[in-house]
Structure 1
Amino acid sequence: MAKSLMIQGTMSNAGKSLLAAGLCRIFAQDGYSVAPFKSQNMALNSFITADGHEMGRAQVVQAEAAKKAPDIRMNPILLKPTSDKGSQVIVGGSPIGNLTASEYFKYKQALIPEILNAYESLSEENDIIVIEGAGSPAEINLKQMDIVNMGLAQMVKAPVLLAGDIDRGGVFASLFGTVMLLDEVERKYIKGTIINKFRGDVEILKPGLHMLEELIHIPVAGVVPYLSVDLEDEDSLSDRFKRRRAAVLIDIAVIHLPRIANFTDFNVLEHIEGAGIRYVERVGELGAPDLIIIPGSKNTIADLKWMRENGLEAGILKHAAQDKPVIGICGGYQMLCEVISDPFCVEQGGHIRGMGLLKAETVFEKEKTRTRVNGTFSDVGGIFKGLSGKSFEGYEIHMGQTLPIRNRNTLIHNSEGVSGETSLSTLKGGNCPEKSDGMCSGNIYGTYVHGIFDSEEVLFEIAQALMNRKGLHYYKDTAFKLKEYKERQYDLLADALRQSLDMEFIYRIIEEGINI
């Protein structure tokens, strides 16, 4: 059975995910078979594994850092918020329904066998399991029903490193307060603390570290600097939404929907040389971009109404009328259609008028589509016609299907699921494939495929087309290579943690484990 190490935080966004990823890479570099684990994740950024299971992307990042294929056992429970008070609950990679917060609170302990089965199965195949907690372990109203922080640490006997975010201020108070709100047995599980996101001279901080150790009788395992590594963010807390770019050659505006999902699709676009990515919430921010992208949404109808009410829909329609490109991904693709129908009340029930930019209708279904796809484009029109013949791969997560209302649209279709080849072909004679994955009409493009921009060929063609439209040229030798870039980032993260953490101490607490 594997040894374990758990990373908890004094609050959300304390840096748990990044620390866990970095430790996964360190242990992998040191020759250990390592796997990440998070019993329950709440996120709208999700991923489909090779066997069709849905899991949080934070554990996908950690799996890549550990040099392992993403596995649903790494994240057995995923909560995808559908409103301020409820979430879709995904267990073992499959949705079991929507529950309110109070309903899930009463239900979640029934999921402990699922959690332990996943953990124990991973443990049998690895040397070390790096576990990530969620939020704070000191939520005193939730402690008795905890399955993700100290409750999980006690179930699997995992030593804990407690991280605090000094960048927000009050790190000593948050570390001290968290420890003091734990009971005596829980405190014994915390073997060290980490000061995370530090800027400045560590020598000035050292007196505070010594005082903290004397107060809580737990050693400080390290002070981690504010890192500039470029890895995926947790969705609702991403600072990507707030960034403002300097003058750029190509301006790409992504609509920041209230329930935006899988915005990680667009991280790779930031690496187009000369391009700037903006997340837009109001029509006054839209300006005159070269490309508008409407992303995925956990509630397509509600987010379409939001765009309609705040003027963004009108702004997008004006942009499209100027023959400028619009790309819709997943929920954004559904919004581009003429009609969205919800006969089974998957979201709100009934019908709603879409944006009318694609001659198609989306009908929500009871079952969620969860599959990986790969293939080639063909007969693509408009500004991105250079995509024809190019390969892509990705995954789909959506409720419902989108089918054309009239001919003369171009359709991406995949009738064989994971193993089938996905192609882009023109509809003829009113016939259509069993399952529609996307279509285009002029410079309006829609697809259900997440990760479609990750292909180097696809990214280059999109960049080149946008540059050419402005009389510029995008050179092939500047094209971005995503996999190589990610590997460098994981190694940089591991190097930074080796320099700032006491790895000898960390290996020792892993070896000693918990004997309580």
Structure 2
Amino acid sequence: MLQGTGSNVGKSLLVAGLCRAARRRGLSVAPFKPQNMSNNAAVTADGGEIGRAQALQARAAGLAPSVHMNPVLLKPESETGAQVIVQGRRLGALGAGAYGAEKPRLLAPVLESFGRLAATADLVLVEGAGSPAEINLRAGDIANMGFARAAAVPVVLAGDIDRGGVIAQLVGTAAVLDAADRAMIRGFLVNRFRGDPRLFDGGYREIAARTGWPGFGVVPWFAGAARLPAEDALDLAAAPRPGGLRIAVPMLARIANFDDLDPLKLEPGVSLELVPPGRAIPAADLVILAGTKSTRGDLAQLRAEGWDIDIAAHWRRGGRVLGLCGGYQMLGRRVADPAGIEGAPGVSEGLGLLDVETVMTPEKRLAEVCGRHPASGTAVRGYEIHIGRTEGPDRARPFLEIAGAPEGAVSPCGRAMGSYLHGLFAADGFRGAFLAALGGAASGLAYEREVETTLDALADHLEAHLDVTGLFALAAPAALPA
């Protein structure tokens, strides 16, 4: 199990690279994360959902994503509450206090899912969440040491030197853990070093001496990480490129499934700009409203930021707007939630760029789908993960066709478009045709091949700088409680 000294220290990427390294060594390997908190979810073949990071790790391992790779997924809906997904299915929406009370009961499905993977793989690589140093959260823990001890899984602790204070991160974690938890840790590694790793030799020795743990290596900064699907919206941030097509994306508070943007980010002729709160949406060729975990809540934020005014000005200048999933719902005339599924019951006025209306319903649509973009004749594939039914006159001009049925909507002028399909820009033919319609030039980027090449490069990087053989040697058959 790889745990971290904090959130976003690179655990997800390390596990993905180790999965690819294990696979290339001829091992059957599976990724596992007991509990993940993310609105960036992936749909599994059996109609469940897991964290997007585990889907990438599954790909690195050569496996189809399974609900058992991430049995507990928390999808934040507010500052204090989240939708709880257990083994791919929605358990309900719980506040932080209620979830704390529920956690001990979730250990059983977590261990069941882990047992299923352990029974079919030579190696299971487990990713922790947050940090075991958050000892105030230790009671009922299922994400870090609570899981490690219940499943008898050895732990390696990763620190992030790029954020500074890595010696204190690792030594401090050792200092605050109780003896039984500390005994689970078999070593450490240092991630994201910029420059010559030998310059850290003295610090590396200090960590080993002060903790008693052996080190498994210092991993230099891996620049290719920017070419892999991101789980944290902050990882999407990039400096806009000069020239080319300008695409602006407002950073909604509950932005979800933003890996839709990854292929656009890699296009050399595209300048993708994520607009943070407090900034106006700049002049652009296209504004994309991405998915959201709370359509009405993010509509309110969009108006509070003045982004509705910016979008109206963009529209008057002849600009185009694409809404994906929750963004599609926002483009309509109104969004109604009579049952209070995403919050307080009520109705919100939409942006009115599409003549459609959405009603939230309890049923969630979870499916992998293939289809066609009628305007270009190109094939698309992706997944749907949403609640709500959207109907109205502009549905007579579908954005896509899925299994021969119309999907999405297009305005009469063709400049406003909406779709529930996530992942469509990964299709090279569609992406090229869509960008060409905006006046851009196709780059010839083979996105899926790029991801595979980068995963191989990540595995090479870890093999060169970590004692991968020593890490894998820690693994032993799990002793699950009866």
2:231 pairs, out of 220, 234, 237, with 234
Report what 1:394 is aligned to.
Answer: 382
Offset of 1:437 from its aligned partner?
A: 4.2
One-letter amino acid matched to 2:453: R
Report what 1:369 is aligned to.
Answer: 365
Is 1:11 the counterpart of 2:11? The answer is no
Q: Give per-residue Cα distances to partners, 1:258-299, cap 9 Å, x unaligned.
A: 111111100100222221100113585422101110001111
CA distance in 1, matches of 2:327, 2:475: 45
CA distance in 1, matches of 2:27, 2:470: 17
Q: Give per-residue Cα distances to partners, 1:456-506, cap 9 Å, x unaligned.
A: 1111111212225xxxxx25xx32111110111101100000011012321
CA distance in 2, matches of 1:134, 1:252: 33
Change (3 A) 1:199 1:413: closer
Change (3 A) 1:284 1:107: closer
Q: Superposed, which structure 2 residues align to 1:12-411 within 5 Å?
A: 12-229=7-224, 230-236=227-233, 238-241=234-237, 243-281=238-276, 284-347=279-342, 348-378=344-374, 380=375, 387=376, 389-404=377-392, 406=393, 409-411=396-398
Unaligned runs of 5+ in 1: 1-5, 381-386, 415-419, 425-435, 469-473
Unaligned runs of 5+ in 2: none
Q: TM-score, normalised by structure 1?
A: 0.89
Q: Give the secondary-structure state (helix, strand or coil) at the position aligned to 1:467.
A: coil
Q: Give the secondary-structure state (helix, strand or coil) at the position aligned to 1:411.
A: coil
Question: Relative to structure 2, which stretch is displaced further, 503-512 or 154-163?
Answer: 503-512
Change (3 A) 1:439 1:117: farther
Percent of paired sites with the same residue: 41
Q: Give the secondary-structure state (helix, strand or coil) at the position aligned to 2:273.
A: strand
Report what 2:453 is aligned to.
Answer: 488
One-letter amino acid matched to 1:15: G
Report what 1:443 is aligned to.
Answer: 415
Is the 2:231–2:259 contact (alpha carbons within 8 Å) kept by the matching residues of 1? no
One-letter amino acid matched to 1:147: I
Offset of 1:335 from its aligned partner?
A: 0.4
Q: Give per-residue Cα distances to partners, 1:330-367, cap 9 Å, x unaligned.
A: 11000000111111111231111111111111000012
Offset of 1:227 from its aligned partner?
A: 0.7
CA distance in 1, matches of 2:394, 2:129: 49
Q: Give per-residue Cα distances to partners, 1:98-130, cap 9 Å, x unaligned.
A: 100000000011111111111111111111000
CA distance in 2, matches of 1:423, 1:35: 36
Q: Give per-residue Cα distances to partners, 1:123-177, cap 9 Å, x unaligned.
A: 1111100000000012111112111101111111111110000011110011001
Report what 2:438 is aligned to.
Answer: 466
Is the 2:3–2:131 contact (alpha carbons within 8 Å) kept by the matching residues of 1? yes
CA distance in 2, matches of 1:392, 1:283: 35
Q: TM-score, normalised by structure 2?
A: 0.95
Q: Give the secondary-structure state (helix, strand or coil) at the position aligned to 2:339.
A: coil
CA distance in 2, matches of 1:67, 1:440: 41
Is the 1:189–1:514 contact (alpha carbons within 8 Å) kept by the matching residues of 2? no
CA distance in 1, matches of 2:130, 2:281: 34
1:510 pairs, out of 459, 475, 482, with 475
Report what 1:455 is aligned to.
Answer: 427
CA distance in 2, matches of 1:223, 1:445: 47
CA distance in 2, matches of 1:376, 1:512: 46
Report what 1:421 is aligned to.
Answer: 403
CA distance in 2, matches of 1:114, 1:328: 36
One-letter amino acid matched to 1:446: G
One-letter amino acid matched to 1:235: D
Q: Give the secondary-structure state (helix, strand or coil) at the position aligned to 2:129.
A: coil
Is the 2:131–2:144 contact (alpha carbons within 8 Å) kept by the matching residues of 1? yes
Change (3 A) 1:513 1:221: farther
Is the 2:395–2:408 contact (alpha carbons within 8 Å) kept by the matching residues of 1? no
Q: Give per-residue Cα distances to partners, 1:63-98, cap 9 Å, x unaligned.
A: 011111111110011000000000000111111111
Offset of 1:440 from its aligned partner?
A: 4.3
Is the 2:27–2:122 contact (alpha carbons within 8 Å) kept by the matching residues of 1? yes
CA distance in 2, matches of 1:324, 1:500: 48
Q: Give per-residue Cα distances to partners, 1:367-407, cap 9 Å, x unaligned.
A: 211112211122x4xxxxxx2x2111111111111001x36
CA distance in 2, matches of 1:410, 1:278: 29
Offset of 1:309 from its aligned partner?
A: 2.3
